[in-house]
Amino acid sequence: MTTPAARVRARLGHPVIDSDGHHVEFLPLVKDRLREIAGDAVLLRFERVTRGAEIARQLDPATRRQLAMTRMPFWGLPARNTLDRATAMLPRLLHERLESLGVDFAVLYPTYGLIPIHLDDEELRRASCRAFNRYAAECFAGFGDRLAPAAAIPMNTPEEAIAELDFAVGELGLKVVMLAAWAARPYQGENLPRGASWLDFFGFDSPYDYDPVWRRCEELGVSPSFHSTGMGWGSRSSISNYVYNHIGSFAASAEGACRALLLSGVPWRFPKLRFAFLEGGVAWACSLLADVLGHWEKRSRDRIGHYDPASLDRARLEALLAQYGPQAFLQRRERLDESLALLSDPDEDRSAIDEFARCPVERPEQIAAIFSERFAFGCEADDPMNALAFARGLSPLGSRLRAIFSSDIGHWDVPDMERVLPEAWELVERQLLDERDFRDFTFAFPASHWQAANPRFFDGTVLEAETSRR
């Protein structure tokens, strides 16, 4: 029987690339690889991590709050749809079913492998990332014509990131990398609450220089992809409601990483790199672009002087105060200075007032070009806000952002894998996208993204001929 997805695919004149599906690891094999890499003691610590939800359920709400244990994901994988659960776990079955999903080629991110990139325990973090990467290379061997698994890359230090990049890409031959979008840096001091930390997005405030990591990605021909959650931060720290924590969490993490990269000047220093921000949609990116442009237009080097306290005409201000000030103001006019310094301190360090100094920008179009040419944004099929990426009339400077089709198969977001592509096509049926937009969304944008860092990305795949003509 022809599936709904296959019927949509049949009417298209182009392939479909899924840039963010998920496979669900067969944990016994991962654990055996971890034992081989680091021994039984590290494996035992990994087992404790995997029992986190079980442990949390044994604690009362007050204790969970005291320990900063937020509500964890639960029932997050297909169950009633057993075929889809097996498909996510068995690469050969997924490879066989791709046609029924209407997908020609899929980039696949881990599921359990999302956990180790953010573990505090360095030995466990590095060893488990390596175990998951060995697992991915081993289990997807022979299916590279249609499937590309992503490597998990920890980012707590540049050294460990580079070491795992060299292993996963250089030795294992994986060609997609999933970098942690942030690292939690513990505050220094005594008697601090559990988990007291700040978030490092690897930009200007980081204690480390991450340029060697971006350089190594460029040398290896891989595009940094970020797929971290923001659950547990700020308002997303409920001890009882996972949905409350999950909504907007990937967008929050992606936005933080994108903002840090941009204001740190990374896209300009590494012009060959393309960056992907996954599972958060594109609405946040449209908003961020508008916000960055608004700040640049008012607070960049040549414009911040408009707010320089030295530019204030004190005599005119005093005259206006005398003319329009209420009696209560006039009785206190000799204390005028008390009202002027706050938020307008004349002693501000003038060597630090250009907060766009790392961005070699002379025109707003240069910022828009980074968003529309160098960044890609993973968009789930059922998100109607995907249309914003193509709405030139709404986007600043008529920008068109690179939204890339991302199924999220393997997770609870997808009750039926065969309905994903039809859900994406609904934007065309509703006339929110035209067919050219849909081609860019499902093929042209993802193909150009993956080929930008590695022109041979699709060599040996079912898309080799199609992409070589681009």
447 and 366 within one domain:
yes
The predicted model scores a pTM of 0.95
Q: What is the tally of structural domains in the chain?
A: 2
- Mean pLDDT for the stretch of residues 373-400: 94
Contacts of residue 309, defined as CB under 8 A and 6 or more positions apart, other chains included, come to 340, 341, 344, 345, 346
258 and 328 within one domain:
no
CB 59 within 8 A of CB 69: yes
371 and 331 within one domain:
no
Collapsing DSSP to helix, strand or coil, 163 comes out as helix
Q: What is the DSSP string of 405-459?
A: EE--TTSTT-S-GGGHHHHHHHHHHTTSS-HHHHHIIIIIHHHHHHHHH-TTTTT
d(CA 70, CA 353): 38
Please state, in angstroms and as integers, the Cα–Cα distance from residue 253 to each residue in 23, 131, 161, 270, following that order: 21, 25, 19, 22
Asked if residue 319 belongs to a domain, the reply is: yes
d(CA 183, CA 259): 15
Q: What is the CATH number of the domain that holds 416?
A: 3.20.20.140
Q: Is the pLDDT at 470 greater than 70, yes or no? A: no
Collapsing DSSP to helix, strand or coil, 21 comes out as strand
Task: Single out the residue in 352, 387, 420 at which a domain terminates.
Answer: 352
Asked if residue 90 belongs to a domain, the reply is: yes
pLDDT, the chain, mean: 95
Give per-residue pLDDT as tens, 206-240: 999 999 999 999 999 999 999 999 999 989 999 99
- Mean pLDDT for the stretch of residues 113-121: 96
Q: Which domain holds residue 370?
A: 4-298+359-468
> Which tokens in the block code for residue 163?
């070491």
CB 229 within 8 A of CB 257: no
Angle among Cα 367, 372, 378 to the nearest 5 degrees reads 125
151 and 179 within one domain:
yes
Q: Is the pLDDT at 469 greater than 80, yes or no? A: no
Give per-residue pLDDT as tens, 64-106: 888 878 888 899 999 999 999 999 999 999 999 999 999 999 9
Task: Single out the residue in 282, 317, 352 at which a domain terminates.
Answer: 352
269 and 231 within one domain:
yes
How many helices (H) and strands (E) the chain has is answered by 22, 10
411 and 330 within one domain:
no
Give per-residue pLDDT as tens, 404-430: 999 999 999 999 999 999 999 999 999
Task: Single out the residue in 288, 318, 352 at which a domain terminates.
Answer: 352
CA dihedral (178, 257, 186, 49) in degrees, to 10, reads -30
Give per-residue pLDDT as tens, 423-433: 999 999 999 99
109 and 94 within one domain:
yes
Percent of the chain with pLDDT over 90: 89
d(CA 167, CA 174): 9
416 and 340 within one domain:
no
404 and 338 within one domain:
no
Asked if residue 304 belongs to a domain, the reply is: no
Collapsing DSSP to helix, strand or coil, 56 comes out as helix
Contacts of residue 129, defined as CB under 8 A and 6 or more positions apart, other chains included, come to 113, 116, 117, 152, 153, 154, 164
230 and 330 within one domain:
no
Give per-residue pLDDT as tens, 332-351: 999 999 999 899 988 899 99
Asked if residue 404 belongs to a domain, the reply is: yes
> Which tokens in the block code for residue 33?
């690889």
455 and 338 within one domain:
no
198 and 215 within one domain:
yes
Asked if residue 150 belongs to a domain, the reply is: yes
> Which tokens in the block code for residue 432?
């929110």
CB 403 within 8 A of CB 377: yes
DSSP state of 371: I
Asked if residue 177 belongs to a domain, the reply is: yes
